[in-house]
Structure 1
Amino acid sequence: MTKQPVSGTDKIHPEGAKCIGACDPGEQIEVVVMLRRKDAEGFRQMMARIDAGEAPAQSVSREEFDKRFGASDEDVEKIKQFAAQYGLAVVRADPSTRSVVLKGSIDAFQKAFDVKLERFQHHNIGEYRGRTGPVNVPDDIHDAVTAVLGLDSKPQARPHFRFRPPFKPLRGVTPASFSPVDLARLYAFPDSDGAGECIAIVELGGGYRDSDLSAYFSKLGVKAPNVVAVSVDSAKNAPTGNPNGPDGEVTLDIEIAGAVAPGARIAVYFAPNSDAGFVDAVNRAIHDNTNKPSVVSISWGGPESNWSSQSISAFNDVLQSAAALGVTVCAASGDSGSSDGVGDGADHVDFPASSPYVLGCGGTSVTATAQGITQEVVWNDGDQGGAGGGGVSGVFALPAWQTGLQVARAGGRQTPLAKRGVPDVAGDASPITGYEVLIDGDDTVVGGTSAVAPLWAALIARINAINGSPSGFVNPKLYKAAAAFRDITKGDNGSFAAASGWDACTGLGSPDGGKIAAALAPAAGHARVKASQ
């Protein structure tokens, strides 16, 4: 049987990774095989209308989407036969998410996909399972397979949150802290508790404790939201008791979203921290017919340069599905400024925030009184304190709704934006002016763009509840509504500077919630698609 490589599967190992030995051939692992869409041409035409802002927020119902754009039964059956041939078990085969999860020994997967799996060590991410060579599949399924994820276990993303540092802040900034309710008021969020909506939160480790949540919302005087944990690929809500680890991310995401939209259901999707887990979590969330989220909050990510082209392509394909289904996806733009923490002296942006189908959420530093915000600048607390991620994608083309924009660079030079610019929007992110949260029993103050993603997700949930319909893919509408933002014109994130209008530090700016709601009001004739929503 002849085999061909799956496009984009030339593996990228992080610089400094060293092979330290063979894997146990008998070790059991799970791998996600992604499949092509039925009616790919119909989907391409629909996405062209969505990209141009010409389609209703929810272009098709979930039921119609699955029928037209899921995987074919024939392709799923081919993968099942392929699995049986190599002694691999089918854990889940789901045409709607176009994914088949296979389980088996490392030895069986090496033979099935003609790869060599070995153990690697890296100074930053520790030990992981990696592979050598492209992933190969038999000729008869090659056209059907778009990605094979999970053969390697390299941690794909990091959480984008930061605790308030113990050192003295730069530029004489006076430390302050806000509850999420305070920030919703300062940003003039419209009156709503998000009732009837579901906010999906994607997490790649750690967990939350019910005791933290009940104590936090009780202290705030806010009705505790309904929080449900959803297991993806065997991961689950598993708090470690260490607030400095992923527990901090999980808990602050829930507390921020829940405080701002307490009437919404909060569905937390726990997945392994790998490209397979990350992609599968978002895919499962947008196709979840039980919880039916209308908005997804993602506070994890990694530099585009750390992703294989296969992984980015598979993830972006899922994000396109979200846009078609009317699900808004908010993602943190990163906490390491214009370098995104890569350390090679070049500029980098964070993915998935850099996807053109995501609302990339950048960071500011806020000074406020009881009367309102008195100053808001780009979040940049220096090397120790972090800075908002932003810049120009090295992967994605310039979206139609960013055409004609300029990139302001530190030092004053402006150049035309040539590819996807990040972020799109911003909000308070500096730990010096951070969010009051309760993590693993401790009251603390946190910042990071990971706080901005759930803040914006909760704003979208409020607006969806008011409209009785999803806002959907909001980027084209928001770029036509510059007056709905507080324009941030001071500061830089390293290589890029704030400027009038859009910039690569804070995007369009921070929200004027009522004006954002007006900008996202359903257009006449764009009625809600009721079937199976």
Structure 2
Amino acid sequence: MRRTLPARVAVAAGSTAVLAVAFAVPSVANAAETGGRHVLNGKPAWAAQAARVGAVPSTTGLSFKVVLNLRDEAGAEALAQSVSDPSSANYRKFVSAAQWRSRFAPTDAQVKQVTSWLKSQGLKVGQIPANHRYVMVSGATASVNSAFGTSMSHFRYKGRTETAPATALTIPASLGSLVAGVAGLDSTARATPQSSTGSTNSVSTDGLRGMTKVTSDTTLPGPPDVFVNSGPCSSYYGQKSATSVPTLPGVKNPMPYVVCGYKPPQIRSAYGEDTMLQSGYDGRGATVAIVDAFASPTILKDATNYAKKNDPSHPLRSYQFSQSLPASYNSIDECGGNGWYGEETLDVEAVHATAPQANILYVGAASCGDYDLNSAVNTVVDNQLAQVISNSYGFSGEPTSISDVAEDHQTAMQAAGEGISLLFSAGDNGDEIANTGTRTVDYEASDPYVTAVGGTSLAVTQSGGYGWEQGWGTGKSTLKDGAWTPLPPAYVYGGGGGTSQLFKQPKYQQGVVPTSISNYFGNGAYRAVPDVAMVGDPQTGFLVGETQAFPDGTTKYSEYRIGGTSLSSPLFAGVVAVANQANGGPLGFLNPKLYKLAGTPAFTDVNHQGVTDAVVRVDFANGVDASDGLVTTARTINQTGTIFTRKGYDDVTGVGSPNGVSFFAGVTGSKSLVGAHGGGGGTKHTGPVTVAKPLR
């Protein structure tokens, strides 16, 4: 599963009228002016429901960022839309980072006005990126309280002690038009690993195997504890049938055993990429950036070894991989430390699987904090380090106002203006009802300038062909005393999707997204998520290889199955890199083009409805070996709740999954690709998908 940030950095304000115009987002009232002070948004919404347990000591050091407004938000929105709209005369006439900064970044004088005030409050000014998106700030709690007219406090929330402002932040009215908000004072805004190994008792509440704690808060830990898949399992979907277990009501029986983990050639073959590779389209010349927290010390060795073992015709060469890492790290314990190594490993190996000659740039954030992850994305965008960015983290739910997302949205707009495709995984908790109690989509996947990648369950045939695809939504029953319990299977996880309550419907979704989805809440048409999808179900997951720590104290390379939309996103990022090569240049913000291709052979319409299939999985109870016994479970496919697959656009798989050469020809507009290869993906379906019975 992709990593989820449990709450949003919630102290931000500023100009939002432009967002309301550009995407028909509900406008947010301008912050009030009180006693010569500009009032920013108040304390986080979660803190209003939590018990305050005391003040943060006045001498405690805090680090945060002050986010600045764009100089011309309306102009920035107009440019980003113009270069992304296939009907525009400026389509794909991207600008450079320098050109963007010269037109839209705050001026040196404006930055100086803000930093001078910060320094006058006893605060220390740190890094300021070239695009002046934010100012890094540090100082004692007493200075923060005094500068922003608040009281930094501890709250008891969900069994933890968290920190946030107890009241709204205020700044001098003279700075009100310059400051978009303050980020980093909310301790709940932390990402957690979301790459699901699909283990059983060894999985934490967020779907991950256990993570080793460290005592140092600045030194990265060693490899994570090992996770080992048990068996039996199938090398392709339906290879082995579980004839010894009871039948599961409502599905095809006997059920097949879970897939051991698809390898890169199987993924490329099923999605029709092999034809492209045979013609020399393999991602060369393109760079995909991957953003996660921290950095695995063995990533290049592991990814190289993995490719050698599982994709020997496409080795990962050292010159294809590079890293951009911070000088130091923070909040390692709170972030789960080496739990991020598996996420990074998955992302790197998945990108290489679908774009074996692309360059991969790994950008490690200093922590799993929202402010550090956003800074990492901004580093890629403002320095034009890649043509595609894949992000496998996000928030369970959306912020409550546009002003809370100013920094992210500005970066997404700049990426669009520069021709960078910005991808986010759509989430691993389906409609979020089981996870949060409320139907919602995840942010940042819901931002209108982001391509949100959803998850599917994929059946790859014995010959490597495309058997079928369904929506990823998993229910689980456990075999106890010869019977399955509970019945029906209880929902566990699935590809994220649904309807935003923050962003109104962007133009590119009009006429494609059904009203039943866009107006789900009955208050008008809003942004729907996801946009596209690829395999994400851990039961039809991807094999990865990583250095792990074994119980005997040794560390060594081992392989296991993994899934989540943090698999879907990097797989699609590799596909986009290949498309960039075929296009002869970057494709930029993809959504306007993708929705124009909806309903064409460019996509496979994933439209099977209802639960008809399930698989059987046998896991080690301790995640390592059989010494503590085995756990046998049945896992359903396409159990997706209030979101579901249907003909046309749906809120589990978007416009569908990429369909081989037809997809590449469609997004590039290249008729030569269609003429040379017939346009299809060979084994994929261009019409309604017929669900195949499991092989017996």
Tell me the TM-score normalized by structure 2. 0.69
Deviation, 1:269, is 2.2
1:481 Cα offset (Å): 1.1
One-letter code of the match for 1:284? T
Q: Residue in 1 aligned with 2:108?
A: 73
Aligned CA distance change for structure 1 residues 84 and 244 (closer, same or farther; 3 Å):
closer
Residue-by-residue CA offset, 1:416-460 (whole Å, 9 max, x unaligned): 982111111111111111000013333100111110000011111
Q: Deviations over 1:192-236 (max 9, x none)?
A: 332222211111356352332232122122322533332358438
Q: How far off is 1:384 after superposition?
A: 5.5
Superposed CA offset, 1:286-336 (max 9, x none)? 1125xx211110110113345664332331222111111111011111111
- Counterparts of 2:527 and 2:397 in 1: how far apart (Å)? 12
Match of 1:152 among 186, 194, 197: 186
Aligned to 1:60: 95
Q: Separation in 1 of the partners of 2:354 and 2:530?
A: 22
**Alpha-carbon spacing, 1:66–1:409, altered in 2? closer, same or farther (3 Å):** closer
User: Secondary structure of the residue that 2:439 maps to in structure 1?
Assistant: coil
- The answer on whether the counterparts of 2:80 and 2:414 sit within 8 Å (CA) in structure 1 is no
How far apart are 1:134 and its partner, in Å? 1.7
Ranges of 4+ aligned residues in structure 1 off by more than 6 Å: 167-170, 236-244, 413-417
Query: What's the counterpart of residue 180 of structure 1?
Result: 264
Matches within 5 A, 1:373-452: 373-382=466-475, 383=490, 385-407=492-514, 418-439=525-546, 440=548, 441-452=557-568
1:408–1:504 contact (8 Å) kept in structure 2: no
One-letter code of the match for 2:525?
A
Q: Output the CA distance in 1 between the equivalents of 2:652 and 2:85.
A: 24
Report the residue type matching 2:186 in the other structure.
D
Matches within 5 A, 1:3-14: 3-6=37-40, 8-13=41-46
Answer yes or no: is the 8 Å Cα contact 1:158–1:302 preserved in 2.
no
1:431 & 1:34 partners in 2: Cα distance?
A: 38
Contact 1:240 1:247 in 2 (8 A): no
Determine if the alignment matches structure 1 residue 462 to structure 2 residue 591. no
Q: 1:357 is matched with which residue: 449, 456, 469?
A: 449
Q: Is the 8 A contact 1:330 1:453 kept in 2?
A: yes
Residue 362 of structure 2 is aligned to residue 215 of structure 1: no
Correspondence for 2:386 = 293
Q: What is the CA–CA distance in structure 2 between the aligned matches of 1:442 and 1:309, rounded to whole Å?
A: 44
1:494 aligns with 641
Whether the 8 Å contact between 1:233 and 1:277 is mirrored in structure 2 is: no
Provide the residue aligned with 1:86 in structure 2: 121
The answer to whether 1:485 aligns with 2:603 is yes
Measure, in 2, the Cα distance between the counterparts of 1:58 and 1:31.
36
Q: Flag the structure with larger Rg.
A: 2
1:112 aligns with 2:147: yes
CA shift, 1:114, in A, is 1.5
* Aligned-partner Cα distance in 2 for 1:133–1:240: 25
Q: Which moved more, 1:207-216 or 1:487-496?
A: 207-216
Q: Which residue of 1 is the match for residue 290 of structure 2?
A: 201
> Please, which runs of 5 or more residues in structure 1 have no aligned partner?
525-533
Q: Give the gaps of 5 or more residues in structure 2.
A: 1-34, 202-244, 476-489, 549-556, 610-637, 672-696
Report if aligned partners of 1:207, 1:240 keep a CA contact under 8 Å in 2. no
Q: Structure 1 stretch 260-269 or stretch 419-428: which is displaced more?
A: 260-269
Measured in 2, the distance between the counterparts of 1:276 and 1:233 equals 16
Counterpart AA for 1:451: L
Residue 396 of structure 1 aligns with an amino acid whose one-letter code is F
Q: Distance in 2 between matches of 1:43 and 1:422?
A: 24
Bigger mean CA deviation after superposition, 301-310 or 318-327 = 301-310
Task: Tell me how far 1:510 sits from its aligned partner.
Answer: 1.1
Give 3-state SS (helix, strand or coil) of 1:363's partner. strand
Q: Which residue of 1 aligns with 2:592?
A: 476
Q: Flag the 1:468–1:406 CA change in 2: closer, same or farther, 3 A.
A: closer
Tell me which moved more, 273-282 or 194-203. 273-282
Q: Could you tell me which amino acid in structure 2 is paired with residue 486 of structure 1?
A: T
RMSD: 3.1
Deviates more, 1:441-450 or 1:265-274: 265-274
Per-residue CA distance 1:2-22 (angstroms, 9 max, x = gap): 32112x444222686443333
Structure 1 pair 119/242, CA: closer, same or farther in 2 (3 Å)? closer
Higher deviation after alignment, 378-387 or 424-433: 378-387
Deviation at 1:51, TM superposition (A): 6.0
Instruction: Tell me, in whole angstroms, the C-alpha distance in 2 between the residues paired with 1:250 and 1:349.
Output: 24
- 2:353 and 2:642 map into 1 onto residues whose CA distance is 35
* Counterpart code for 1:219: K
Distance 2:105 2:521 in 1: 43
Structure 1 match to 2:53: 20
Bigger mean CA offset, 81-90 vs 202-211: 202-211
Paired residue for 1:367, among 459, 481, 502? 459
Q: Structure 1 vs Structure 2: percent identity of aligned residues? A: 28
- SS of residue in 2 equivalent to 1:162: coil
| 1:23 Cα deviation from its structure 2 partner | 2.1
Q: Which residue of 1 aligns with 2:20?
A: none
5 Å matches for 1:25-40? 25-40=58-73
- Alpha-carbon distance in 1 for matches of 2:290, 2:524: 31
Greater displacement, 114-123 / 247-256? 114-123
Change (3 A) 1:179 1:62: same
Question: What's the counterpart of residue 412 of structure 2?
Answer: 319
Q: Deviations over 1:339-389 (max 9, x none)?
A: 265432x31101111111111111111112115111211111114541111
Partner of 2:430: 337
Instruction: Check 1:149–1:504 CA distance in 2 against 1; reply closer, same or farther (3 A cut).
Output: same
Q: Distance in 2 between matches of 1:14 and 1:84?
A: 29
Distance 1:113 1:166, change over 3 A: closer
Q: Please tell me the residue identity of whatever aligns with 1:512.
A: N
Matched length: 517
Q: Secondary structure at the match of 2:128?
A: strand
**SS of equivalent to 1:473:** coil
**Which residue in the other structure is 2:551 paired with?**
none
TM-score (ref. length: structure 1): 0.88
Q: Distance in 1 between matches of 2:542 and 2:132?
A: 35
**What is the SS of the residue equivalent to 1:421?**
strand
Structure 1 counterpart of 2:134, which letter? S
**Selected match of 2:371 from 267, 276, 291:** 276
1:23-81 per-residue CA deviation (whole Å, 9 max, x = no partner) reads 23223232211212233342233234246442423521222112112121111111220
Query: Distance in 2 between the 1:487 and 1:74 partners?
Result: 52
8 Å CA contact 1:160, 1:332 repeated in 2:
no
> What is the DSSP-based 3-state SS (H/G/I as helix, E as strand, rest coil) of the residue aligned with 1:366?
strand
Cα shift at 1:465? 2.2
| Equivalent-residue separation in structure 2 for 1:248 and 1:434 (angstroms) | 14
Q: Are the structure 2 counterparts of residues 415 and 223 from structure 1 closer, same or farther at C-alpha, using a change threshold of 3 Å?
A: farther
What SS class does the counterpart of residue 102 from structure 1 fall into?
Answer: strand
Which residue, 163, 172, 193 being the options, matches 1:138?
172
| 1:381 alignment partner, SS class | strand
State the Cα distance separating 1:138 from its structure 2 match: 1.1
